[in-house]
Amino acid sequence: MTVGLGGHQLKGDQLIIIDFEFSMPERQQYPRGFYPEIIETGLVAVQNGKVTDKFSSYVKLSAFPVLTKRCKQFLSISQSDVDNGIPFHSLVQYLKELNQRGKSKIITWGNMDMKVLRQNCSKGGIDFPFKGGEFIDLSMEYKRFFGDQNQTGLWKAVQEYGREGVGKHHKALDDALTTYHIYKLIEKDKKYLDKAEPTTIGDRIDLSKIFNQMA
């Protein structure tokens, strides 16, 4: 787990890029009352264009404490990883403290991260940490920006930019860093596409000279 890179004294607008990995049932086998729980967190906080925090941790399970074989294989995660993780309430407390530094823009790839965080908070009787924040689903921004009919996967999107993702796919911090990478690429492209206001004929020629010649 890594928390902070010397930036936690800063105040002001910030980007919080988050990726969560969730527990999952075996295929077509849903235990009674099952819901996905956060089991790994990756986060990057940015202020004034500089990374102020990186956070990476496994998270202990509460409602369904035993990982399924499918989950362990898909995420390359072990039971001991989550058993030795931080409690969920500690994760929420960290997110709350991070959000209190200033106005936050929370960026995720897809809408499931915030949905599951809200649900996990509700199930645990814990307040949602990102009150007053702006939420951006970057996958939808990417879809609108490029006019795609379907949503694109995170690593496919970065490859379409001719780049490579950071680290390993489905590792939470690597996916958060890759999401931040795509965010910067999209923002750069948006600036290129911003159209300058068209000049008028008066901007292009000196009308006073013409009037003098006609006098």
Kindly state the percentage of the chain with pLDDT values over 70. 80
The predicted model scores a pTM of 0.80
Dihedral class, residue 162 (left if φ above 0, else alpha if ψ from -120 to 50, else beta): left
Q: Which of 33, 31, 17 lies closest to 175, judged by CA?
A: 17
Domain assignment of residue 7, yes or no? no
pLDDT per residue as tens digits for the range 73-99: 999 999 999 999 999 999 999 999 999
CATH of the domain at 153: 3.30.420.10
Domain assignment of residue 195, yes or no? yes
Domain assignment of residue 5, yes or no? no
Q: Which positions are catalytic?
A: 21, 170
Count of structural domains within the chain: 1
Residue 101 · residue 53 · CB < 8 Å: no
**Domain range for 58:** 14-214
pLDDT for residue 189: 81
150 or 204: which leads in pLDDT: 150
Average pLDDT over residues 9-37: 86
pLDDT above 50 for 9: no
